[in-house]
Amino acid sequence: MDYTTWRHAFKLDPAKTVTDDELEKLAESGTDGLIVGGSDGVTLDNVLELLVRVRRYSVPVALEVSTVESVTPGFDYYFIPTVLNSTQVEFINGLHHAALREYGHMMNWDEVVAEGYCILNPDCTAAKMTGVETVPDEEDVIAYARMAEHLFKLPVFYMEYSGTYGDAEVVEAASRILENTRLFYGGGITNAEEAKTMAALADTVIIGNIIYTDLKAALSTVEAVKSVSRQR
């Protein structure tokens, strides 16, 4: 299933543990895709281990690349974040440049999807790693959304609230801007109601942490997201 039709995705952190039984429930939950990715402790070994395990199922799998060293063939997609509100050039286009110098000649561009990240929780690991110093307000987010949609024509704008539940008004402001660029929402979803709220605003809703603390609640978000459509 093409990632442009994904409504719901689980994000699996290779540095965290899931049992085979839990993984089967996630993969066969009806979710549209699994994203393998994390900010911290991602290695080639733990990415490969998870890849082998998720490949038992037919669900599409994307690797969200956080370190070049952990990239390996075998995924359906490679999601490449560029952090639009980072203060450090390496996270905007520096690592990308280094990777393309080395591997650009052998990349399959049909599998590569650039994500324009807007990090909205300054306390999350991704914010600290990438030098996000201030929380973008609504006007900032609108400007970043326009940057993604019109200036850089990125396929995805990712509102990353990792670890905290987002402000629906701010997500809605971005949603109004984005037409061709798909809106990914991720952060702090712990139940079906929260998932539905963001599913009305975003194209794709991403569920992370709750997988590791309350699997039942995580699984309940699949049906919830699919029961609503993004409002236009």
* Residue 122 binding ligand 1GP, by CB under 6 A: no
According to the binding rule CB under 6 A, does residue 221 interact with ligand 1GP?
no
Interface with ligand 1GP, residue 163, by CB under 6 A: yes
* Residue from 208, 222, 224, 225 binding ligand 1GP (CB under 6 A): 208
Distances (CA, A) of 100 to 88, 94, 107, 156: 18, 10, 9, 20
Q: Is 13 annotated as a binding residue?
A: yes
Amino acid identity, residue 7? R
Per CB under 6 A, does 187 bind ligand 1GP?
yes
Is residue 162 a contact residue for ligand 1GP (CB under 6 A)?
A: yes
Task: Please pick, from the candidates 7, 8, 11, 196, the single residue that binds ligand 1GP as defined by CB under 6 A.
Answer: 11
Residue 188 makes contact with ligand 1GP by CB under 6 A: yes
Find the length of the chain. Answer: 232
Contacting residue, 18, 207, 219, 224, with ligand 1GP by CB under 6 A: 207
Which residue from 184, 82, 68 is spatially nearest to 130, judged by alpha carbons? Answer: 82
* Beta carbons of 53 and 46 less than 8 angstroms apart: no
Alpha helices in the chain (DSSP H): 20-27, 44-54, 89, 95-103, 125-130, 138-146, 168-177, 192-199, 210-213, 215-226
Q: Examine residue 189 and tell whether it contacts ligand 1GP (CB under 6 A).
A: yes
Over its C-alpha atoms, the chain yields an Rg (Å, rounded) of 16
List residues near ligand 1GP by CB under 6 A: 11, 160, 162-163, 186-189, 206-210
